Amino acid sequence: MRTPRGLTASAGLLLSGLLVLTPTVAAAAPGTIGGDRLATHGYVVAEGAPALPRGLVAAGWMVADLDSGDVLAAKNPHGQFAPASTLKTLTAETLIPKLAPTMSIIPTFDDVNVDGSKVGLQQHLRYTAAELFTAMLVVSGNDAANTLATANGGVPKTVEEMNAEAARLHALDTHAANANGLDDPTQLTSPYDLGLIARAAMELPTFRMYVATKHSHIRGPGKSQIAISSHDKLLYNYPGTIGIKNGFTVKARATFVGAATRGGHTLLVVLMRTAPRYWPEAASLLDWGFAATAAGVAPVGKLVDAEPRPETAGEPQAAPVRPAAARLTVASKPSSGAGLPLLPTAVLATGAAVLGGGVLRGRRRRPRRMSLPKL
């Protein structure tokens, strides 16, 4: 476990209802991923930035530009915390490129008999991978996460691949112990790492569609359907929100990763170990981030580029979907395609292209290369 050290900032005055920070410089730890200024347990914010919002309670948080990767401000960005269901962003980011959306999957007894949040999958029923990803990311179904992991060759294999994927992303504060985010003493991540993982996941067009979904359904027993609605409260309360994922356990408290677009900019906010009613805190930090962006505030760090993703069968490396194109309009009646969930035709077309032996064509993004500082 790495214990970040470096720049700290002490809380100063309360002025007009806003928290004013007075930075104090400590000895930095050279080689911190994302920049030496992120080596702190405290606040890091640029000089001359707007005052941070009042009432921030998260033990660790970060605001960053999703497109450029610029970190605008943070608190304890490399602090390690239990992730709860925000870990499912890593599960999805690992498995979406491997499992075609139309792949047929049957849950096992162990998959559906799991603790915590469940969508209500039935043993022996057939589901598409698209249904399972929707259930996992929209209503945080632990049964859906386990079923996807089983379809990938089992939970141990999937966890191993998740940790390898975290290493590819340079998310070095992260260790996965399961696929669903339930508490485990060894399962940890940080605000910075969740930002890296979410940024990589949002480059996958189907991930963007899943996490922007407010309402959908999956099949139930017999010919019934189970209606599902997103647990991401920011989707309903903050204009411009495009997803991503919330979580909660007794150990982790509330955790959250969200993204929103305004004025041509898309910002990412991460909260760890915060209050259960997390969305007002997330909204206030996004408001601050958009104000800081408009004011031209200098970044305090960077979400580093990942190593190139290997080509796999599920979803080829396509250019990221623009936020406007990622908004999901749920159909008013079920699809006639073998009980597929109510998902955009783009998702189904992706699976059809893969299963038909074709390759989804998209503008390739040149692999982003970087020189990592020595840790």
Catalytic residue positions, numbered: 85, 88, 140
Q: Do residues 5 and 26 lie in contact, with contact meaning Cβ atoms separated by under 8 Å?
A: yes
Q: What is the dihedral of CA 213, 219, 220, 222, to 10 degrees?
A: 160
DSSP letter string, 31-99:
T-TT-GGG--SSEEE-TTPPPBPTT---SEEEEEETTT-EEEEEESTT--B--GGGGHHHHHHHHTTTS
> Bridge partners of 45?
73
First to last CA, the chain: 13
DSSP reduced 3-state for 12: strand
Give the SS3 label for residue 289: helix
Name the amino acid, one letter, at 140: S
Cβ contact 319:360 at 8 Å: no
Q: β-pairing, 104-105 with 43-45?
A: unpaired
Angle at the Cα of 256 (from 254 to 257), degrees rounded to 5? 170
Q: What are phi and psi of 213, to 5 degrees?
A: -75, 125
CB 88 within 8 A of CB 148: no
E-only strand ranges, the chain: 8-15, 18-24, 43-45, 60-65, 70-75, 104-105, 127-128, 215-219, 225-229, 241-249, 253-262, 265-274, 301-302
